[in-house]
Each structure stands twice: as C-alpha cells, then as structure tokens.
C-alpha cells in the first residue's frame, strides 16, 4: 500500500511539472490556470502570483517526494537517509521562500514563465490600489 501512495504522489508531482511546462510555453493558458485557482480565498493578484510560481511549486513537490517515501516506508534515519531528508527539507524551504517572493514581488524573474515576467508583484498592485483610494478621498 505504501508504494501505491508513493506512486500516486509521484504521479501528482509529474502532472504538476507537465502543467508548469505547458504554462511556460503557452501564454494563452494563463486564464485557464487562473480559473483553476478560483478556489483560493485570495484576490486576483495573489492567484496570478500563484500561477506565476507554478514551476517552483512543482519543484517543491519533487523535493517532498523522498520525504513521502521515507515516511511511508518507516525507514530508519541512517546517515544517508538523514542527509536526503535534510536536503529535501532545505529545498522545500527555499521553494516556499521563492514562491512567496514571486507572489509578492515577482522576483526572481528567472523562475517565472517568460510571458509573465513583466507582471507587477502583488505588493506593487496593492500599493497602486491604496494610492488611488487615498487620492480619490481627498
């Protein structure tokens, strides 16, 4: 059963990688991905940021894969397995920081699909909206 669960996880990571590759090559798919993120309880800017960071999310899923297998197999943490866990956790943490940075600031741009690199980050859009509200009330 553990192998089946691990296989399902790997299939999900592979699917996410495939979808990220499609988005990377085709700018017309952005609206499709935005529609699939409507379940998130955030505004349009954050959802667009999530779409921009899809490649980083896929990388994070692959980094979690060895953790899933080690957990499912109830493996003992020997030297080599402990190193795999440490590296995987560090990659996941780096991906999380990168994803937050992409959503908020659209940085680093090299991890964003080429057709979305000129998007302003969520923070820039919030500031513009806030400035408009302040100037409109005066």
| Overall number of domains in the chain | 1
State pLDDT tens for residues 25-56. 999 999 999 999 888 888 999 999 999 999 99
State pLDDT tens for residues 73-127. 887 888 999 999 999 999 999 999 999 999 999 999 999 999 999 999 999 999 9
pTM of the model: 0.89
Which pLDDT score is estimated for 75?
76
Confidence of residue 134 (pLDDT cuts 50, 70, 90): confident
DSSP code string of 40-106: SSS-HHHHHHHHHTHHHHHHHHHHHHHHHHHHHTT----HHHHHHHHHHHHHHHHHHHHHHHHHHH-
Structural domain including 98 reads: 2-137
């Amino acid at each position: 059963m553990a192998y089946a669960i691990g296989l399902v996880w790997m299939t999900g990571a592979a699917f996410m990688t495939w979808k990220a590759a499609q988005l990377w090559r085709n700018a017309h798919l952005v609206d499709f991905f935005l529609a699939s993120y409507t379940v998130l309880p955030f505004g349009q800017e954050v959802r667009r940021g999530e779409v921009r960071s899809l490649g980083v999310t896929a990388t994070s899923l692959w980094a979690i894969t060895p953790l899933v297998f080690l957990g499912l197999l109830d493996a003992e943490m020997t030297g080599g397995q402990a190193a795999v866990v440490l590296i995987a956790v560090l990659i996941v943490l780096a991906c999380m920081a990168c994803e937050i940075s992409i959503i908020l600031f659209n940085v680093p741009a090299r991890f964003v699909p080429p057709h979305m690199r000129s998007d302003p980050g969520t923070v820039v859009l919030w500031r513009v909206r806030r400035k408009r509200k302040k100037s409109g009330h005066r």
